[in-house]
Amino acid sequence: MISEQMPENRTVVGRFAPSPTGPLHLGSLVAAVGSYVMAKRAGGLWLLRMEDLDTPRVVPGMADDMFRTLESLGFAWDGDVMWQSRRAEAYGSALERLLSARNAYPCGCSRAEIARAASAPHDGEGEVPYPNICRNGLPAGKEPRSYRVKVGAEPIVVHDLIMGEKRYDLARICGDFVVKRADGLFAYQLAVVVDDADQGVTQVVRGADLLSSTPRQILLQRLLGYETPAYAHLPLVTAPGGGKLSKRDNAVSLAAGRDLAADGGRLILAALRFLGQRPPASIAGAAGREILAWGAAHFDLSLVPTASAPLSA
């Protein structure tokens, strides 16, 4: 099995990486708070990255709203913001390295062809494992559409600081996966790995919905010679009945009409409590930056729950 753990002596560099495809929401808030207080508790840096890679889905003006929302909530990030949309050269260089080492290859298959040809069982999330049609070269008459990275037979073990040890058989779950899409855009899995390496990120704290992406990213880190960060996947925020939150109830941004001058501290406090922390009643009326400072000084990872739940704010 492939197993990755971060050396304990590395300086902590955390990050928050929202996508400007809609306003910040309660799940984003929890991820921002969790990543911030974990990095600052360790005396580390907290970076901000704008994951605007999927340009067709980017909402104009939303990135600026995210900046203003985070500032209004009391966050302050270290260094300059990284923009994925400006990093095609870095991703292209990483892809060339994968191709040169024969760890990636061009693929001429459409989704419909893959669905028809696949014989392996699905992983329960609707994903069809790639049936290796182009793995040993493009069949006659096919032109490159996308690029895939080769997945080995050896399972990958993720040591998550919150969710515990998870074992993934990528060959069964997804097979060789796309690192450059048919529309010419680089895939999230490759971009995030290159970004984390270039920013020196040592700690990735994000929602549990991205836990299944982690083994793919660990594989890419190994193939590209990057160190693997520590991972901590936070519980997800659900609606009161356990379902998905509506966009109306979920948004916490200025663009959604939130009065963060009045509500910011209360929202940060609610996020900390959602993460199992026990802030004292004496800070209940404090500003967001003061409550974040308390979190940075007192955050206890052992108190973070693993189960998804509603957030009362």
Catalytic residues: 247
* Torsion over CA: 196, 198, 199, 203 (sign): positive
The pair of structure tokens assigned to 209 is 């919905």
The 3-state DSSP class for residue 76 equals coil
Strands 203-207 and 146-149, by their bridges, are unpaired
CB contact at 8 A, 195 and 82: yes
Nearest to 44 by CA among 162, 204, 195: 204
- Residues 247 and 262: their CA atoms lie apart, in Å, by 21
- Residues 175 and 216: their CA atoms lie apart, in Å, by 10
Element (H, E) at 269: helix 260-274
Nearest to 255 by CA among 80, 122, 42, 62: 62
The pair of structure tokens assigned to 149 is 């990275």
Which neighbouring-strand residues pair with 164? 160
**For the chain, what is the total number of helices (H) and then of strands (E)?**
10, 13
- Residues 253 and 28: their CA atoms lie apart, in Å, by 10
